[in-house]
Amino acid sequence: MALITIYVKQKHTSTAQRVGEMLHRARMAPVSSLTPRLAITGGARPFPARSILLSLVATTLITGCPDQRLAAARRLAAQGQPQKAAEAFVALAKADPANLGAWDGAVQIWCRDLANVGKCMSVLDLELKLLGSLQRHRDALSEVLERRARARLAQGLVDAALADLDRATKAGPNRASVHAARARAHMMRGAREDMLRALKRAKTLDPHLAEVDALYRLLPSEARHDGFGGSAIDGVSPTSD
């Protein structure tokens, strides 16, 4: 407790100074104050733990506590250094997987602020590996998969895009833009019925999504009546699949 108190009081000093001062105090403290209250079998004197405590103190101060590292990463983001901040968040998440703030920070920067698909997928893969679940960031996974799918559609890679959109739909089934992207992919394949189903689902989730209207106008006039129940999409109330 004495060592912890010293550390808290000196939290505003430099790391090097704190390390030196705490190691000095530990060396000067009596052995009895640095030993556990358990005795070795046979009633011998308590087992000295000074060296162990010295190592723990040094390690803690050098690496920094999770709260301090999280705050440092957030400062980098606030100072306009998003890439360094994201790297700091990821490093902290690796060291302390239970630190949800670190995961949130990394996902926010790589997946949303910078929209870096590769980095985002790496972070989400790491989160899945270390935590066993992406429940906290399912929307982020859906968003990044949709973004990659749209890029693949722009390159004409329809099958690869649909594979991404399948995963994106599973992660975020109620995101209208995913279904709109699916409609676009089906249009590129010439699969009109699949396109209509995707458009209806997107329209149900978000009646004001502009992309749905734009895709609908690309349909032949007879197809506009089929599936939407009217010749103008603005006034319809499509049903879900």
* Higher-scoring residue by pLDDT: 185, 24: 185
pTM: 0.62
Place of tokens 């895709």: 215
The pLDDT tens digits of the residues spanning 32-80 come to: 444 444 444 444 454 455 554 444 444 444 445 778 999 999 999 999 9
Q: d(Cα 194, Cα 162) in Å, to the nearest integer? A: 12
pLDDT at 177 over 70: yes
- Predicted confidence at residue 65, as pLDDT, reads 73
Over 80: is that where the pLDDT of 229 sits?
no
List the structure tokens of 167. 């995963």
Which residues 6+ apart lie within 8 Å of 151 measured at CB? Answer: 117
Question: CB neighbours (10 Å) of residue 7?
Answer: 16
Q: Is residue 204 over pLDDT 80?
A: yes
Q: DSSP letter string over 159-183? A: HHHHHHHHHHHHH-TT-HHHHHHHH
| pLDDT category of residue 28 using cuts at 50, 70 and 90 | low
- Per-residue pLDDT, averaged over 98-117, amounts to 94
- 3.40.50.2000, 3.40.50.620, 3.40.190.10, 1.25.40.10: which CATH number matches 140-235? 1.25.40.10
Amino acid at site 113: D
Please, which pLDDT band fits residue 231 given cuts at 50, 70 and 90?
very low
Res 224: pLDDT: 54
Please state the domain extents for the chain. 2-39+47-63, 66-114, 140-235
Helices assigned H by DSSP within 100-227: 100-107, 117-131, 138-154, 158-171, 176-189, 192-205, 210-217, 221-225
